[in-house]
Structure 1
Amino acid sequence: MKAKRQFIAGLISASTLAFALPASAQFGPERIAKPDADELYADRAMQKGWYDDALERYAQACEDKSQQREVWSRNCRKAGHIYRRGLGIEQDYERARELYDTSCFDGRDADSCLEQAHVSFTGNDGNQDYEYARRLYKRACDLGDQTGCGGYGSMVYRGQGGIMNREEGKDYIQQACETGDTWSCERARGYGFPDRRGL
């Protein structure tokens, strides 16, 4: 009888724990929503060169913050591409940066961080800004993007946009290369770092 009571008590405490856990712990990680009909239409419109239609759909989805963060930020990034490249409209780097920044920092979209980091690093918008590019590469790295880690490491190694730290920069680049990021491996070879892959 005592064993039975202990078994029931164990079941009750286990079920109580299950309700106390966040949904992701109970049911696994949240799945990122696939593109809906509007986003799929916009993607097809891009392929056909119907940039006005695509931008309208992407912009609407970008503004709808009731959707999953990954969904609206992905659409912000796609809208940003249209402005950055001047597809069907006048090229507008400032508007593209606003969209990339929203997607990168609020939406946690690493690809947006990388897009704006490249523009800021190269100065394609007429405003080369190493400090900002370095910040964006670090943000992408923090979000798990290994190219971002390599980009940040390269800037730290060379002292671009901030303090130079050869050891820290080298470590970021080599770690990114070890994960298989080809861009980082190219940087590592260019700087003459030993190949640590497989170690």
Structure 2
Amino acid sequence: MKATSLFFAGLVSVSALTIAPSASAQFGPERIAKPDADELYADRAMQKGWYDDALERYSEACADKSQQREVWSRNCRKAGHIYRRGLGIEQDYERARELYDTSCFDGRDADSCLEQAHVSFTGNDGNQDYEYARRLYKRACDLGNQTGCGGYGSMVYRGQGGMMNRDEGKDYIQRACETGDTWSCERARGYGFPDRRGL
């Protein structure tokens, strides 16, 4: 009986350590929470085409700013995908942009930055905006996303959405390629840059 009690007490202690965010740097960096039951359900609902259920769960999690920033911003991005693609609802690029922006700038979710940067760059929403796409790629890059660095570098190199600076653009693209980012390496080859990987 005593062994069972100790076992359950140990489980509770481990659970508390897993769920609770780090209070101090002495315990290392804060771990990003894994998807909870609602988010996992929403992910499965997406696979099955139950988009209304998925959108409801993602939206609720997106609105709950008491969660870890990475968690609510990830859910905002997933809700944004539904609006952008018009899955089970009328396609709504404006609402998708609002969600991506919140996730990108407030939530620091680099993937959201990239999603909206692509839409703004291509003009898929009927509003091609190079200046905004460039800003989003830079934000993704600042958040450590190497495809964002390559995208920003490409726009700087070509003078899209702002001043042209060939040297700066080339450097961003090459450095992103050096990290192994395939998209950036394709851009580097397309522009005829030397491959600096391994140097």
Same fold (TM over 0.5): yes
Paired with 1:162 and 1:47, the residues of 2 have a C-alpha distance of 40
8 A Cα contact 2:58 2:78, kept in partner: yes
Paired with 1:161 and 1:107, the residues of 2 have a C-alpha distance of 24
Shift of residue 23 of structure 1?
3.6
8 A Cα contact 2:86 2:92, kept in partner: yes
8 A Cα contact 1:157 1:166, kept in partner: yes
SS for the counterpart of 1:88 is coil
8 A Cα contact 2:104 2:112, kept in partner: yes
The alignment's TM-score, normalised by the length of structure 2, stands at 0.89
8 A Cα contact 1:177 1:197, kept in partner: yes
Q: Mark the CA change 1:56 to 1:156 in structure 2 (over 3 Å): closer, same or farther.
A: same
The alignment's TM-score, normalised by the length of structure 1, stands at 0.89
Count of matched residue positions in the alignment of Structure 1 and Structure 2: 199
Q: Mark the CA change 1:143 to 1:4 in structure 2 (over 3 Å): closer, same or farther.
A: same
Paired with 1:10 and 1:43, the residues of 2 have a C-alpha distance of 31
Paired with 2:167 and 2:108, the residues of 1 have a C-alpha distance of 28
Shift of residue 138 of structure 1?
0.1
SS for the counterpart of 1:160 is coil
Shift of residue 9 of structure 1?
35
Paired with 1:69 and 1:190, the residues of 2 have a C-alpha distance of 37
The runs of 4+ residues in structure 1 deviating greater than 6 Å are 1-22
SS for the counterpart of 1:87 is coil
Paired with 2:45 and 2:10, the residues of 1 have a C-alpha distance of 57
Q: Mark the CA change 1:191 to 1:3 in structure 2 (over 3 Å): closer, same or farther.
A: same
Q: Which has the larger radius of gyration?
A: 1
Post-superposition Cα deviations, 1:77-97, rounded to whole Å, max 9, x if no partner, equal: 000000000000000000000
Q: Does residue 183 of the first structure (1) align with residue 183 of the second (2)?
A: yes
8 A Cα contact 1:18 1:26, kept in partner: no
What's the counterpart of residue 196 of structure 1? 196
Shift of residue 13 of structure 1?
28
Shift of residue 25 of structure 1?
2.0
Q: Mark the CA change 1:145 to 1:41 in structure 2 (over 3 Å): closer, same or farther.
A: same
What's the counterpart of residue 11 of structure 2? 11
RMSD: 7.9
Q: Mark the CA change 1:171 to 1:84 in structure 2 (over 3 Å): closer, same or farther.
A: same
Q: Mark the CA change 1:77 to 1:2 in structure 2 (over 3 Å): closer, same or farther.
A: closer
Paired with 1:75 and 1:10, the residues of 2 have a C-alpha distance of 32
| Structure 2 counterparts to residues 153-164 of structure 1, below 5 A | 153-164=153-164
Q: Mark the CA change 1:134 to 1:23 in structure 2 (over 3 Å): closer, same or farther.
A: same
8 A Cα contact 1:155 1:169, kept in partner: yes
Query: What percent identity do the matched residue pairs reach?
Result: 91
Shift of residue 160 of structure 1?
0.0
Paired with 2:11 and 2:82, the residues of 1 have a C-alpha distance of 55
Paired with 2:164 and 2:188, the residues of 1 have a C-alpha distance of 17
Paired with 1:72 and 1:20, the residues of 2 have a C-alpha distance of 16
Shift of residue 148 of structure 1?
0.1
Q: Mark the CA change 1:113 to 1:16 in structure 2 (over 3 Å): closer, same or farther.
A: closer
